[in-house]
Amino acid sequence: MAEGEYKVNAADVNVLGCFIGGEWVVPDDAKLIEVKNPADGSTIAFVPRGNKEEIDAAVKKAQAAFSSAEWKSLQPYKRGKLLYQIAELIRNNKDEFARLETMDVGKPYAQSEMDVEIAARYFEFYAGAADKILGETIPVDAGIIDYTVREPLGIVGHIIPWNYPLQIAARSIAISIATGNAAVLKPAEDTPLTTLKLVEIIEPIGLPKGIINVITGYGHEAGAALSSHPGIHHITFTGSVETGKRVMESAAQNIVPVTLELGGKSPNIVFADCNEENAMEWVMRSIVQNAGQTCSAGSRLVIEKTIKNDFVRKLAAKMESLSIGPGVDNHDLGPVLSKKQFERIQGFIELAREDGITIVTGGKRATIKGCESGYYMQPTILDHVPQAHHLAQEEIFGPVLTVTTFETEEEAIEIANGTPYGLVAGVWTENTSSAHRVANELQCGQVFINHYGAGGGIAQPFGGYKKSGFGREKGLEAIRNYTQVKNIALKY
């Protein structure tokens, strides 16, 4: 059916509402968005196709809640206690969250279970930080006490991506509450279910109505209205570079700061002296997790020439042994999100064929009996990919690994830094001095030495260099993005 064709009075469909000012709302004349299960193409639910009217209503409710005496008088430690309660509620509903995330995104059930635990940990982490957002005293002159305080920004907008909706909604809500802000979230139209479930379990704990709001809708409608709304004081966006540019342009019209995480082309740099078994396991995991639909995916293997052939041969055998199928059955690899996403990945594979790139393994659609309408992709290795080739430069966002070799440490660094992105890198060597030298020279926001794991690093600042964006999520560093500094000088 055409985009937005559905009506709310359609019979026997599961219609979920927007959450505005503490109320579940389905506009009277709303068009609907169909939410599908990537495993088999079946319809799971319908959500409202929210637009600027719903965004405006949510922002006004958020403004009223933020300005209320009830919110302003809630001490930081009490905000922390509420966050601890939410963490407990998430764990109490673990099975339902994991089931919804798997149905919505397509990822294996075990990965969804991990996402649930990470979501709970975000609330715990920022619960502990809520009453420790401190200022400083500054020595200025005799007779003057000078100090700073960190205050909330006001109304923060969060545009949530489709690949890790529960994790990112959790960290967005947790830090918004911890820092004393009110929030308006716009989940991805493809995967809104766990965000809606999250606010459903939060609703009874006693937050002022309007502190958390969720509007479902398309990015070019609801997302654009959120990023350009004059009542928003900060925008956090995770997604593509092109959309990130539009978000930043919209925010600039209102002189509003943004935090952008815009993807990556992250390398695993493998030296000949590495622990081969450990390196190989993590190189594989970092590209097949969530079917490669991860901004921090290790999508480039940059490997020392002397060990490349044997390493790639063994890696291909490991990938070929992975099971592919519906996430609910907990296979190693689930489907990619949609036909659009599948065709994008296939476009890169076709480019490899046209340009004579060696396809070591994979490169084809996997047909799963009973799930013929699902979009399953074989894990793929592309060898002999020149550093300047489009396949080595652009984010594919699927289970596709490119291979490029190096001979010297300097060459490895040059290749690793030689893309427009700079999000994450892995370094694999038993030489500690070499590991530190390489890490110091890499142009990226996170470096993992002899392991790889940005996803669960609750306390580790996460963000990129170059076109991977700017600002940091996670950890205490993220608090800087959600507060503003006021300097006060007292003459006595």
Q: Domain coordinates of the chain in residue numbers?
A: 6-262+471-488, 267-467
Predicted local confidence at residue 135, as pLDDT:
96
Predicted local confidence at residue 454, as pLDDT:
54
Predicted local confidence at residue 30, as pLDDT:
75
**What's the distance, CA 372 to chain centroid?**
28
- Predicted model pTM: 0.95
Predicted local confidence at residue 12, as pLDDT:
44
6-262+471-488 against 267-467: fold identical: no
Q: How confident is the model at residue 157 (pLDDT cuts 50, 70, 90)?
A: very high
> Which position among 124, 189, 221, 261 bears the catalytic label?
261
Phi-psi region of 330 (alpha: psi -120 to 50; beta: other; left: phi over 0): left
Give me the amino acid identity at 361.
T
Distance (Å, whole) CA 444 – CA 436: 14
Distance (Å, whole) CA 424 – CA 279: 16
Q: 């956090």: which residue's tokens?
A: 236
Question: Is 6-262+471-488 assigned to CATH 3.40.605.10?
Answer: yes
Among 478, 465, 386, which residue's Cα sits nearest to residue 425? 465
Q: 């933020």: which residue's tokens?
A: 66
Q: How confident is the model at residue 27 (pLDDT cuts 50, 70, 90)?
A: confident
What is the percentage of the chain residues whose pLDDT exceeds 70?
A: 97
**What's the distance, CA 22 to chain centroid?**
26
- Residue 261 annotated among the catalytic residues of the structure: yes
Mean pLDDT of the chain: 95
CB neighbourhood size of 28 (10 A):
7
Statement: residue 328 has pLDDT above 70 = yes
> Tell me, which fold does domain 267-467 have in CATH?
Aldehyde Dehydrogenase; Chain A, domain 2 (3.40.309)
Rg (CA), the chain: 23
